[in-house]
Amino acid sequence: MRTFAGISTSNGFVRGPVFLYRGQGELPIVEYVVENGKEEEELLRLRRAREEAKKDVEGLIKVLEDRGNEESKIFESHLMFLDDPWLQELTEKRIRVDRLNAEAAVKKVIAEQRAIFARMNDEYFKERVRDIDDVERRLLTSLSGFERTLKFELKAPSIIVADDLTPSETVQLDRKFVLGIATNGGSKTSHVALLARALAIPAVTGLKDITEHVHPGEEVLLDGTNGLVTIRPTKEALEKFDELLNRQRTLLEEDKDNKVAGSLKDGGEILLYANIHPGVPVEGLKEVGARGVGLYRSEYLWLNREGVPSEEDQFEAYSEAARIASSLSEKGSITIRALDIGGDKLVRGISKTENNPFLGNRSIRYLLTHREVMKTQLRAILRASAYGDVWMMYPMVSCVEELREAALVMEEVKRELTEEGKSFNKNIKVGAMIEVPSAAINAEAICRHVDFVSIGTNDLIQYTMAADRSNEDVAHLYQPTNPAVLKLIKMTIDAAKKVGIPVGVCGESAADPIMGVLWVAMGVDMLSMSGTYIPLMSRMFKNLSRAELDDYAATIAALPDDSSAEEILAACRKWMEKAIPKLDDLLLL
């Protein structure tokens, strides 16, 4: 027996036979110098291949849309790559100037783009390498005439074990035969991960070399909750795993009986919302109990584009998302975060090199210094507000002056739309994200200028502790329970309550069973998270009452001032274990 540890990507337990997928392998492309005077012929080959690849992608999108599959949006970014004038120019330059054949030109330019994405700290952007790989293969197969059909011949329920899966490979999976997914590469933001979570398929990524140790058809145990895959399990291991499977089935049955997500055992209710962004499957949000969309990451519309998406592009995306949110509940709202770029979120043609981009011209600062970009986005958001209960918020607010300036731009845009006769909600709710210490310390003043605030714990912790959570050397300082972090969050909550506006949390800690419950105990009104975590958080709350939550907050507040982050976290865990005796069972899924 051997157990491989990877990244917990989609929760759940499953056992079954291996379907070992080796991938398609690298296409045998030959590089050569184009004869002098034949460059135009080579350019024509490239353009024809691009059109052929676009038709393939458009056909795939149509098939998926006809099936009602949300993952069709994944391939819209592929069309953006193929239509990108900057990439076209670079590739054609390789042919005209370097006189490379079209296949070699494509490979070199794509390799350069792959390297750019791979250097980014943001996991989502890193994972877009798989999109680039997919586009490259389509172009090369069109140019070289290789077999273009991908085939997954799943004939029985299986656990797919692969090096990694491209988007094109992922969407071909026959859902009724996919028990689970285990891959050498990938992360929580890969297309495999997004699809697995959307479909509630247990998955583990980042297993490094598991494909070298398994054989087709042999039974494996996949623990998506803890990120473990066991091969050649012993009889004892199988018996223990079967116990987990039985407890999992019991939990799933109990979830079906829990009619309202976020219900407390004394009848109170906690509002649980979903975080989404363009290109992510959203099917199943209603089933898991999402009340609406608490964070729509608009910056992903800028991904893979040269410059700024048009007002119509943005309006189409926002209005569609508003309709989706409206369908989730009677008062299903959507909160669109204004363009949040900078730091490690770089957009080609927009982002500039800065000595310290995390402390530079990012987020609301960027918008205020690029008024046309800001106005275009505000126009699209306002127009989308005619199609649902749309809220919008500014990221990285650090002072009141930014909100005053932003309000003037908003009023200007409203006047323009009114003069044009465009429909929009004149009373759209505008909020601020509390992500830096200055905003938390001055939260009461900020709250007087907005309709709501949302705490972005990811950045607030990072900026408070001056520790980059993606830097392994200082990751231990990324501490949600650090006393300084807790004080800033409490200051923000108290300020919002005093002014009389709602306060939410949309950072990763909202989906943490210990921290998410603590934020609510401290007074947070709503939590927003990946939809797959809503059942887990709902499970926590239905075992607690408002009185118990008040006791939780009081217990942690009473800890000594010099308590360490580890000591506070241990106290949180101890309280939760006492309040919910079957806590470990509830954390299974």
Number of residues that make up the chain = 589
Angle at alpha carbon of residue 68, lines to 64 and 72, rounded to 5°:
40
Residue from 287, 383, 388 nearest 330 by CA: 388
Residue 338 DSSP label: P
Task: For the chain, give every residue range classified as CATH 3.50.30.10.
Answer: 2-23+151-253
Query: Do the beta carbons of residue 214 and residue 502 sit within 8 Å?
Result: no
User: What distances in angstroms separate CA 481 from CA 503, 514, 557, 558, one per listed residue?
Assistant: 19, 10, 11, 14
Judged by DSSP in three states, 487 sits in helix
In the prediction, which pLDDT does 508 show? 81
| Residue 506 appears among annotated catalytic residues | yes
Query: Do the beta carbons of residue 104 and residue 201 sit within 8 Å?
Result: no
**For the range 230-237, what are the long-range contacts, defined as Cβ-Cβ under 8 Å and sequence gap of 24 or more?**
230/1, 230/2, 230/3, 230/4, 231/1, 231/2, 231/3, 231/4, 232/1, 232/2, 233/1, 234/1, 237/1
Task: For the chain, give every residue range classified as CATH 3.20.20.60.
Answer: 268-586
Task: For the chain, give every residue range classified as CATH 1.10.274.10.
Answer: 39-144
Strands 7-10, 203-205: pairing is antiparallel
In the prediction, which pLDDT does 567 show? 97
Residue-by-residue DSSP string for 293-326:
EEEEEGGGGSTT-SSPPPHHHHHHHHHHHHHHHH
d(CA 42, CA 91): 11
Judged by DSSP in three states, 236 sits in helix
247 Cβ partners below 8 Å, 6+ apart? Answer: 585, 588
Question: Which of the residues 78, 277, 449, 506 is marked catalytic?
Answer: 506
- What element of type H or E holds 336? strand 333-337
pLDDT, tens digit, for every residue of 51-90? 988 888 887 777 666 655 556 666 777 888 888 888 889 9
Which class does domain 39-144 fall in? mainly alpha
Query: Do the beta carbons of residue 28 and residue 221 sit within 8 Å?
Result: no
Residues of the chain with pLDDT under 70: 23-28, 63-74, 120-127, 146-152, 167, 171-172, 189, 191, 198-199, 255-260, 279-281, 283, 303-307, 342-358, 469-470, 472, 588-589
Question: Which of the residues 78, 191, 277, 449 is marked catalytic?
Answer: 191
| Residue 399 appears among annotated catalytic residues | no
Residue from 391, 290, 285, 385 nearest 338 by CA: 391
In the prediction, which pLDDT does 281 show? 63
3-state secondary structure 161-193: EECCCCHHHHHCCCHHHEEEEEECCCCCCCHHH
Q: Which CATH superfamily is domain 268-586 in?
A: Phosphoenolpyruvate-binding domains (3.20.20.60)
Of the options 3.50.30.10, 2.40.40.20, 3.40.640.10, 3.40.190.10, the CATH number for the domain spanning 2-23+151-253: 3.50.30.10
Tokens found for residue 485 = 């972090």
Residue from 5, 20, 18, 21 nearest 166 by CA: 21
- Residue 266's Cβ-side half-sphere holds a number of Cα atoms within 13 Å equal to 6
Q: Cα-flanking dihedrals φ and ψ of residue 435, to 5°?
A: -130, -10
